[in-house]
């Protein structure tokens, strides 16, 4: 599976559906001292999780998160949301038209080009550092970290 950070909110929900709780015989209790594992223990991943991983890999093959335009970033975020790979909150953050909005600020003297390529992964890492220094909420930091983990996966399995 493509996930390197199982704490990511989306995959945490999906993986929790794949793991079955330990079976305990009636009248017996289960404690840490009675848990025993063997070399043959296996973990199965549901077909739903496998399909999500394949879809993530397909999307990664179309986008280079280290060389991404604003238009591409918004399209990628929409694909990720449509395929239930990110939450609506992550979509809102990823699809926010940063450059377009900056071009409307008083004193802006640059030119706005929605096809200009930027390193979105590094930009997201920098924004996380800025948010941490600015006293952002734990929830915002968690969302940004989850987005960076996803972007890292997309980068790892994306266009080479």
The 3-state DSSP class for residue 117 equals strand
For the chain, 160 residues long, give each residue's pLDDT as a single digit of tens: 344 444 444 444 444 444 444 454 555 554 545 555 556 666 677 888 888 889 999 999 999 999 999 999 999 999 999 999 999 989 998 998 877 877 788 887 877 889 999 999 999 999 999 999 999 999 999 999 999 999 999 999 876 5
pLDDT at residue 7, as a whole number: 45
In sequence order, what are the residues at sequence separation of 6 or more whose Cβ sits closer than 8 angstroms to the Cβ of residue 136? Answer: 144
Q: pTM of the full predicted structure? A: 0.66
Please name every residue paired with 68 in a beta bridge, in sequence order, or none if there are none: 118
CA 153, CA 61: separation in Å to the nearest integer? 11
pLDDT at residue 13, as a whole number: 45
Would you list the domain boundaries of the chain? 9-18+43-157
CA 88, CA 70: separation in Å to the nearest integer? 18
pLDDT at residue 103, as a whole number: 79
pLDDT at residue 37, as a whole number: 52
């Amino acid at each position: 599976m493509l996930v390197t950070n199982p704490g990511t909110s989306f995959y945490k929900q999906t993986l929790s559906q794949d793991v079955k709780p330990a079976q305990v015989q009636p009248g017996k209790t289960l404690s840490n001292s009675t848990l025993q594992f063997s070399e043959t223990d296996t973990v199965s991943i549901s077909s739903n999780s496998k399909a999500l991983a394949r879809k993530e890999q397909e999307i990664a093959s179309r986008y280079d998160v280290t060389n991404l335009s604003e238009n591409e970033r918004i399209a990628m975020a929409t694909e990720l949301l449509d395929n239930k790979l990110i939450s609506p909150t992550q979509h809102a953050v990823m699809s926010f038209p940063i450059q377009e909005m900056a071009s409307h600020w008083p004193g802006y003297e640059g030119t706005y080009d929605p096809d200009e390529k930027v390193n979105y992964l590094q930009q997201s890492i920098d924004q996380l550092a800025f948010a941490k220094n600015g006293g952002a909420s734990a929830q915002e930091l968690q969302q940004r970290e989850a987005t960076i983990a996803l972007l890292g996966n997309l980068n790892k399995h994306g266009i080479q």
